[in-house]
Amino acid sequence: MKEHDYVRPPAVAGLFYPADEIELRQTVTQFLDAAKVQVQQSLKEECKPFGIISPHAGYQFSGFTAAHGYSLLEKEMFKTVIVISPSHREYFDGVSTFSGKAYSTPLGEVEIDHGMREKLLEKMGDIAIESRAGHRGEHAIEVQLPFLQLTLENFRLLPIVMGDQKPDYCRTLGKSIADLAKEYGVLVVASSDLSHYYNYDAANEIDKRCIDDIMTRKPDKFLDDLDNRRCEACGGGPIASCMIAANELQCIATTILHHCNSGDSSGDKSAVVGYLSAVFS
């Protein structure tokens, strides 16, 4: 099989989200319906999303939070969705764009935007590679796809995994995405959880610093706070890249849609993980 014909199979179906198509469809739809009510109450006016920050834990923990961002996408049209994730399983230098034909979930295949992939590689030079590196077992992109499949029609995917989240890589990626967005209708998804394994109150305090940086859209301060451990986000690089692209495109609004942590759903508040849904519009 040629590399460009390869379809990545689901790696975490049955672990992070239901493997059965009907159950998955019902689960995501229930999350979206419940989140939609809260989002309509929190947004003062309609927004045109450019980028969303979305968590990537098991749906029982973060699915409701993720649904807040995705509930904004119904009735929207995007040619391509760019999903940026950290690499939890493999380290490599730079940024990896998936080399295959499609990602698949129990809801079907999502085709890769080959043309946009080539343009991104061109813009990023030696920083970006076309590869399966970082994509093989990574859950942070995969868990976003069922939400996209049930809210958007006829979109293609550009999945990007950051093997290294250096500030320079974030700046190059963010500016490259902004350039692409000027030519195409794109949505950017920054896949990230927030603080990891602090007690409930400490986690909320750390997450608040992260949220404050996101609200003010100062990526350099955000990256500095991450580097100096004043806040935490496993996908800090994807968030910063999305923020940089939003600033380049002069997005005018940042809205926090939902924040919680695993203690809110599990009841165990001794060592929690933070989750955030936010939109740049």
pLDDT per position as a tens digit, 92-119: 999 999 999 999 999 999 999 999 999 9
CA proximity to 275, closest of 133, 42, 120, 63: 63
Model pLDDT, residue 76: 85
Distance CA 249, CA 258 (A): 24
Task: State the burial class of residue 121 (Cβ atoms within 10 Å of its Cβ: 0-12, 13-18, 19+).
Answer: middle
**What integer is the mean pLDDT of 115-136?**
96
Ranges of each domain in the chain: 50-265
- Region 50-265: CATH code: 3.40.830.10
Model pLDDT, residue 4: 87
pLDDT per position as a tens digit, 230-262: 999 999 999 999 999 999 999 889 999 999 999
